[in-house]
Amino acid sequence: MAVDALIILLAYLLGSIPSGLIIGKVFYGTDIRQHGSGNLGGTNTFRTLGVKAGLIVTSADILKGTLAAALPVLFGSDIHPLIAGVVAVVGHMYPLFAGFRGGKAVATSGGVLLFYAPPMFVIMLLIFFVSLYITKYVSLSSMMAAIAAVIYAIIFGDLPLIIVVSILGFFVFYRHRANIKRIINKTEPKVKWL
């Protein structure tokens, strides 16, 4: 039980690492929460600090989810990897180290799935980039990838995967509710580098 509790704690703390805040402050002298959408995720990092910083932050946020999902295996615990992964995603959205104001769950959710279901992760990436190329909306593309993940889980996944992907998909849509309004109103920013 002590090991299980430690895994859950570590998963949350991993998720709570504010990659965007760290990269922005340490290397750019910028608090990205004061710019763009005010979000700590990769998208706002791309907009605020550029492609290089955006790629680093997005990669770090993905790896948080991957490592968190791997914790039960590393510790030899019976906790399902997806449970540890969901806890990390909650940490990413509501980080202890950044005043509980975090990202929108996309990259860290992807990282969890990268560990548990790599083919699903690849399909999500493809759907994301195809949608991004067509629409130029990161937010819409993130939600399209979430929908694709749920469909994949229903067709190919086990019950835990279906449940967890549905939860993660809900997180993604919930965290993008302001973006949905802006897309409807045609005021959502489009990417300029694609």
Q: What is the mean pLDDT of residues 29-49?
A: 88
SS (H, E, C) the chain: CHHHHHHHHHHHHHHHCCHHHHHHHHHHCCCHHHCCCCCCCHHHHHHHHCHHHHHHHHHHHHHHHHHHHHHHHHHCCCCCHHHHHHHHHHHHHCCHHHCCCCCCCHHHHHHHHHHHCHHHHHHHHHHHHHHHHHHCCHHHHHHHHHHHHHHHHHHHCCHHHHHHHHHHHHHHHHHCHHHHHHHHCCCCCCCCCC
pTM of the model: 0.94
Is residue 84 in a domain?
yes
For residue 17, what are the domain limits?
A: 2-184
Query: What does the pLDDT read at residue 15?
Result: 97
More confident residue, 37 or 89: 89
**Number of folded domains in the chain?**
1
pLDDT of residue 157: 87
pLDDT tops 80 at residue 129:
yes
Q: How far does CA 113 lie from the centroid of its chain?
A: 10
Q: Has residue 193 got a pLDDT over 90? A: no
Question: In this predicted model, what pLDDT tens digit does every residue of 143-188 receive, in sequence order?
Answer: 999 999 999 999 998 999 999 999 999 999 999 999 999 999 999 9
Q: Is residue 193 in a domain? A: no
Mean pLDDT of 53-67: 96
pLDDT tens per residue, range 64-119? 999 999 999 999 999 999 999 999 999 999 999 988 988 999 999 999 999 999 99
Sign, CA torsion 135/141/144/145 = positive
Q: How far is C-alpha 5 from the geometric centre of its chain's CA atoms?
A: 23
Mean pLDDT of 48-76: 95
190 part of a folded domain = no
The verdict on residue 158 lying in a domain is: yes
Whether the per-residue pLDDT at 36 is higher than 90: the answer is: no
Q: Is 194 contained in some domain? A: no
Residue 20 included in any domain:
yes
Confidence of residue 194 (pLDDT cuts 50, 70, 90): low
Q: Would you give the end-to-end CA distance of the chain in angstroms?
A: 49
- Rounded CA-CA distance 125/135 in Å is 15
Contact 41, 20 (CB under 8 A): yes
Residue 189 belongs to some domain of the structure = no
**How far apart, in whole angstroms, are the C-alpha atoms of residue 169 and residue 179?**
15
- Structural tokens at position 142: 């993130």
Q: Is 47 part of any domain?
A: yes
Nearest to 69 by CA among 21, 23, 123, 118: 118
